[in-house]
Amino acid sequence: MVMTWLPLPRLQEAAELLDRPDNSDEEIRENLRDLERLNRCFGGTRAVLLYLSRMVDKRSQSPLTILDVATGGADIPRAICRWARKRKLAVAIEAVDRGDQVLAAATEWSIDFPEIRLRRAQAPPLPYPDCSFDYVISSLFFHHLNEAEGILLLREMARVARCGLLVNDLLRNRLACLLTAMTTRLLSGNRLTRHDGPMSVLRGFRPQELRRMATKAGLTNVRLSHHLWFRIALTKEIAI
């Protein structure tokens, strides 16, 4: 009973199946579609749009430029485009990922979104000059990193952002791991989704860990917020 309430140690060394080089195109695409559905239904997409809505109201410059780090299937950029179109707001989104299979799927699925430019890049570091974008976001990527890599990426995100940054990821705790394992098995037959879902939670960071990383990266006045379904967001607004 005592173990139920003890902090869940971070699983640092284990690898997710999505990171392996021998996955088939079909498995990758199924997994990316699963992630899009999970983001849409369980708060990941909403957390990003909520942040942008709050920040964009404070500025009038257009178009809005955004960098999405480790974009996966680019479901978050597409959601941002739909959000911006409803508000008649011009956006230009640079979406980067390191995987050729992933980028091929993202390119196909984003064909109706000329606002999105996809690029192959390994992060961190970020291959852009200082202050290249208004906002820099990263969703469901930080748990793939160790602490040193996370600190470097936070520093890089702050360097290339003019107005603000957002890290959107999974909160590590026992209940989140259990419910994620159940949900992925109910919603998908994809082996990557079923394996990597609970693994992602186990590799996630807790609020105090993210705050410590932000401090080590030199970031001040960061805000940590909890969202539905065990999502956690780290945001920083940069004075213009």
Q: Give the CATH number for residue 59.
A: 3.40.50.150
pLDDT for residue 2: 40
Pairing label, strands 133-139, 116-120: unpaired
How many structural domains compose the chain? 1
In a domain, 63, yes or no: yes
Range of the structural domain that residue 80 is part of: 22-171+206-237
Percent of the chain exceeding pLDDT 70 equals 94
pLDDT for residue 8: 81
More confident residue, 227 or 5: 227
In a domain, 180, yes or no: no
In a domain, 189, yes or no: no
pLDDT for residue 3: 42
Local confidence band at 211 (pLDDT 50, 70, 90 cut-offs): very high
In a domain, 39, yes or no: yes
Find the range with the poorest average confidence among 34-48, 54-68, 146-160, 198-212: 54-68
pLDDT for residue 168: 95
pLDDT for residue 10: 87
Local confidence band at 1 (pLDDT 50, 70, 90 cut-offs): very low
Selection from 168, 167, 170, 231 nearest residue 202 by Cα: 170
In a domain, 187, yes or no: no
Q: What number is the average pLDDT over the span 131-142?
A: 97
Say whether pTM exceeds 0.75. Answer: yes
Tell me: cis bond preceding 125? Omega within 30 of 0 counts: yes
In a domain, 108, yes or no: yes
